[in-house]
């Protein structure tokens, strides 16, 4: 179902500025509230609703972010202390561009730099922190030495590095991300390798959101088959999936105009799970774990 004409999409598009941004602030992945949307919140919601680089509102914001990566303008006047914000904003911009346009030249240039660092960190098959820090310092000579180095297990690196790594490094990196005790920063704060305790919960939606960011890697079918197995096990008797009403977070759900009907909710949940499985399923093995 095409949700790009939904009332949710129209509400967001009505707030988009001529330069493609939403409001004065770019960065914030928090759930949208009563305050005006940040540009990141708007893009994440539009992506969930099915918007792609073929849609003019996305092309407009991607063009603006590309201009910022080239140093022709600033995305906003915001600046965080304690983190190397000049590098971090480039990371955010490059990541968002590649979520919609993998071949964008400006984002590709940044992705190659990060890929070199990750290749060095996993050169011997497992993560080597000393190698990561050394490669980071060699590559990002413009970094602010007074700020801590940026880690690579956040929402931003996963989409940035798609298609940029060797097969061995890609598999090793996904193993590392999936088994980290604190999960994927900004999205899910538990080990991704373990499905949530209950299926019908908002937590399941966020767990799936993190895995969706990994689903375009070449080894996704191999590394995410545990998730496919659990999802198949959690189908309802009618063959659909239902995250339950509490999964309505105004980010990933709802997709339909309303969840007043359980059937609309099930349709949204089933559509999302089916799309994920289509991307990563290599077989339909099951696992011995309750939903």
> Can you spell out the DSSP letters for the chain?
---TTSHHHHHHHTT--TTS--SS-----SPP-SSPPPHHHHHHHHHHTT--TTSHHHHHHHHHHHHHHTTSS-S-S---SSB-HHHHHHHHHHHHHHHH-TT-HHHHHHHHHHHHHHHHHTTTSS--HHHHHHHHHHH-TTS-TTSBPP-S-BTTHHHHTTT-S-HHHHHHHHHHHHH-TT-BBTTB-S-TTS--S-SSSHHHHHHHHHHHTTTTSTTHHHHTHHHHHHHHHT--TTS-----GGG--SSS---SS--SSHHHHHHHHHHHHHHHHHHH-S-----S---
pLDDT of residue 256: 96
pLDDT at site 31: 76
Quote the pLDDT of residue 283.
46
The predicted structure's pLDDT at residue 269: 98
pLDDT value at residue 27: 94
Q: What is the pTM of this model?
A: 0.94
Output the pLDDT for position 182.
97
For the chain, residues with pLDDT lower than 70 are 33-35, 282-291
pLDDT at 210: 98
Q: What is the pLDDT of residue 291?
A: 62
Question: What was the pLDDT predicted at 286?
Answer: 39
> What is the reported pLDDT for 35?
66
Task: Report the chain's mean pLDDT, rounded to a whole number.
Answer: 94
What pLDDT, on a 0 to 100 scale, did the predictor assign at position 284?
A: 42
């Amino acid at each position: 179902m095409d949700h790009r004409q939904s009332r949710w999409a129209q509400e967001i598009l009505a707030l988009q500025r001529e330069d493609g941004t939403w409001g004065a602030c770019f960065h914030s992945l928090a759930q949208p509230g009563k305050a005006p949307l940040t540009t990141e919140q708007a893009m994440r919601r539009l992506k969930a609703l099915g918007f792609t680089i073929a849609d003019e509102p996305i092309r407009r914001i991607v063009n603006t972010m590309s201009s910022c990566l080239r140093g022709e303008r600033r995305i906003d006047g915001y600046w965080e202390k304690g983190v190397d914000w000049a590098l971090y904003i480039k990371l955010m911009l490059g990541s968002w561009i590649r979520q919609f346009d993998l071949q964008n030249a400006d984002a590709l240039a940044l992705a190659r730099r990060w890929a070199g660092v990750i290749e060095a960190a996993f050169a011997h098959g497992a993560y080597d922190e000393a190698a990561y820090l050394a490669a980071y310092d060699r590559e990002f000579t413009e970094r602010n030495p007074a700020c801590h180095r940026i880690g690579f297990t956040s929402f931003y690196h996963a989409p940035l590095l798609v298609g940029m790594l060797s097969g061995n490094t890609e598999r090793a990196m996904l193993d590392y991300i999936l088994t980290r005790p604190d999960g994927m920063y900004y999205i899910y704060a538990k080990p991704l390798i373990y499905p949530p305790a209950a299926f019908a919960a908002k937590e399941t939606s966020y767990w799936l959101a993190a895995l969706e960011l990994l689903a375009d890697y070449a080894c996704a079918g191999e590394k995410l088959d545990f998730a496919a197995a659990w999802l198949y096990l959690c189908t309802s008797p009618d063959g659909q999936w239902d995250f339950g009403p509490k999964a309505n977070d105004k980010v990933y759900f709802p997709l339909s105009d309303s969840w007043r009907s359980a059937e609309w909710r099930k349709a949204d949940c089933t559509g999302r799970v089916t799309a994920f499985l289509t991307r990563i399923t290599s077989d339909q093995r099951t696992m011995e774990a309750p939903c």
